[in-house]
Amino acid sequence: MHNLTIAELIKGLQSKEFSSVELTQHFLDRIATMNPGYNALITVTADQALRDAAEADRRLAAGNAPALCGVPMLHKDIFCTSGVRTSCGSKMLDNFIPPYNATVVENFEQAGAVVLGKTNMDEFAMGSSNETSFYGPVQNPWDTDCVPGGSSGGSAAAVAARLAPGATATDTGGSIRQPAALCGITGLKPTYGRVSRWGMIAFASSLDQGGPMARTAEDCAIMLSCMASFDEKDSTSIDQEVPDYSATLSKDVQGLRVGVPAEYFSEGLNPGTEKAVRAALAELEAQGAEIIDISLPNTGLSVPAYYVIAPAEASANLSRFDGVKYGYRCEDPKDLQDLYTRTRAEGFGEEVQRRILIGTYCLSAGYYDAYYGKAQQVRKLIQQDFERAFATVDVIMGPTCPTPAFKFGSKGDDPVAMYLEDIYTIATNLAGLPGMSVPCGMVDNKPVGLQIIGNYFDEARILNIAHQYQQATDWHNQAPEGVTS
Ligand code: GLN
């Protein structure tokens, strides 16, 4: 059952080939035996899952089941879940049990999904390797000496290891696409404003966006149809109808104009990765797409601009964690000042503290214009690069990240080397555009991702292209050793 896609599971449940209780128990058993080797889940909600599965079976029997009724799912531990610890990968929230559900969690509940648990992640979603989690790193199922990517590494590893057919994730600078690429699965970061951020613990509010991770584009389409919604509780949510993303998957790509930016094939790109991505482009060309060389000249400025804007927003967002209202509190504070400083020094890890320092510095009175103001100007230039490109092409494609999964500790001492991991994904967040990663090859037995970037609210198109690509190729069906049996 664990080898079936979400689309197949829905069919199987509806035709009563298996019950949701059987399916849920099957995944819970796999989690119990396999998760200790990956550390992909940090909370398992077995009892609740089985209760929800029994309820799903009743609804399925009654014949009025909603879209995802009885389908097991995981949530990244950044989404608030009522009554279930939501840690955001941090000691700061290790004891935090939200009294409410994030809108995304609510949407899955309405659709009848069964939540198996919460996935590991980089602390406050800061990282590209899952090494910054308070709960320890996640192992990549393809090679347990390697990172799964981050920050949604737990979600990506869990889906790759078939501990669940799908998982939610978030992407601020690449955290859906990069771990999807490194774990050989499919992931989509929607347009900014498409998926509600309410109840999703904030990292950098102008960049954060939730999205689906699954093995296929078809499954991502099913998940996004449920995840996306207009939400009055999120002031940046956009009031636009949510299409049925599954309805347009079968269109062909004849005449599609694919822009390939020279800057995405820069120095530092692994030659094997480049070869795989070029082969994917050739496949789409064979299906009738037109490949057009383009330039996004300000790409090189995206990482520096991001590492001003994201830490600046993070430093403001994370100021709420002070030991007073909820979360971690230091022992025996001497006075209020001591309570604040020790709570934050003890509750936050090193990378989070680094970002708070950078962000606070960039926002300080004397430096605001020179750093934050300048970064916002650069952000505008990056948006304009994309606007110009989309005047002549329908989508943009390139690699998701420069290399396949790397070894634990190999970038640990050099934050800049780690930051460059997102060189091809970050510009999309700065512009607010949707982007997707699709498995497109293997290098040294490790998966490689093709990135598809669309224009605003063009999720249906990129899902359609990814689906067409997956109809003709088999990379998304490859599995790490030992997980299919
Ligand atoms: N790797 C990037 C960072 O560390 C992006 C993380 C994310 O998208 N959440 O900030």
CA 290 to ligand 1 centroid distance, Å: 32
Q: Could you give the residue numbers annotated as active site?
A: 76, 151, 175
CA 126 to ligand 1 centroid distance, Å: 5
Tokens 């989309």, residue?
390
Q: Is the pLDDT of residue 412 over 80?
A: no
Q: Of 33, 30, 67, 273, whose CA–CA distance to 159 is shortest? A: 30
Q: Is the pLDDT of residue 266 over 90?
A: no
The residue type found at 307 is Y
* Ligand 1: nearest atom to the Cα of 204: 9
Residue ranges lining ligand 1, Cβ < 6 Å: 125-128, 151, 171-175, 203, 310, 422
* From 77, 126, 353, mutation site for ligand 1 pocket: most ligand atoms within 8 A of C-beta: 126
Q: Is the pLDDT of residue 484 over 80?
A: yes
Work out the end-to-end distance of the chain between its first and last CA atoms, rounded to an integer number of angstroms. 10
Burial of 320: CB neighbours in 10 Å, binned 0-12, 13-18, 19+: exposed
> How confident is the model at residue 10, as a pLDDT?
98
Distances (CA, A) of 79 to 87, 197, 199, 365, 444: 9, 9, 6, 33, 34
Between CA 182 and CA 234, with CA 157 as vertex, the angle to 5 degrees is 90
Structure token digits, residue 314: 């993070």
Range 338-353 average pLDDT: 98
Structure token digits, residue 281: 């482009």
* Ligand 1: nearest atom to the Cα of 175: 8
Q: Where are the alpha helices (DSSP H) in 268-406?
A: 271-286, 302-317, 336-347, 350-363, 374-390
- pLDDT per residue over 102-126, tens digit each? 999 999 999 999 999 999 999 999 9
Q: How far is 64 from 280, CA to CA, in rounded Å?
A: 41
Q: How far is 249 from 36, CA to CA, in rounded Å?
A: 37
Q: Is the pLDDT of residue 413 over 80?
A: no
CATH of the domain spanning 6-256+435-477 = 3.90.1300.10
> How confident is the model at residue 162, as a pLDDT?
98
Structure token digits, residue 135: 């709960």
* From 79, 130, 151, mutation site for ligand 1 pocket: most ligand atoms within 8 A of C-beta: 151
> How confident is the model at residue 456, as a pLDDT?
98
Q: Could you give the percent of the chain with pLDDT greater than 70?
A: 100
Structure token digits, residue 309: 């804007």
Cα Rg for the chain, rounded, in angstroms? 21
Range 19-44 average pLDDT: 98
pLDDT band at 415 (very low <50, low <70, confident <90, very high): confident
- pLDDT per residue over 273-319, tens digit each? 999 999 999 999 999 999 999 999 999 999 999 999 999 999 999 99
Between CA 341 and CA 320, with CA 418 as vertex, the angle to 5 degrees is 25
CB crowding 412-448: b at 16 or more within 10 Å, else e: eeebeebbbbbbbbbbbbbbbbbbbbbbbbbbeebbb
CA 370 to ligand 1 centroid distance, Å: 23
Q: Is the pLDDT of residue 144 over 90?
A: yes
Distances (CA, A) of 463 to 14, 159, 251, 252, 269: 25, 18, 10, 12, 25
* From 78, 90, 172, mutation site for ligand 1 pocket: most ligand atoms within 8 A of C-beta: 172
Q: Is the pLDDT of residue 465 over 90?
A: yes
Q: Is the pLDDT of residue 414 over 90?
A: no
* Ligand 1: nearest atom to the Cα of 174: 8
Confirm if 402 and 443 have CB atoms less than 8 A apart.
no
pLDDT band at 419 (very low <50, low <70, confident <90, very high): confident
Q: How far is 389 from 411, CA to CA, in rounded Å?
A: 33
> How confident is the model at residue 340, as a pLDDT?
97
- pLDDT per residue over 70-93, tens digit each? 999 999 999 999 999 999 999 999
Give the three-class secondary structure for 220. helix
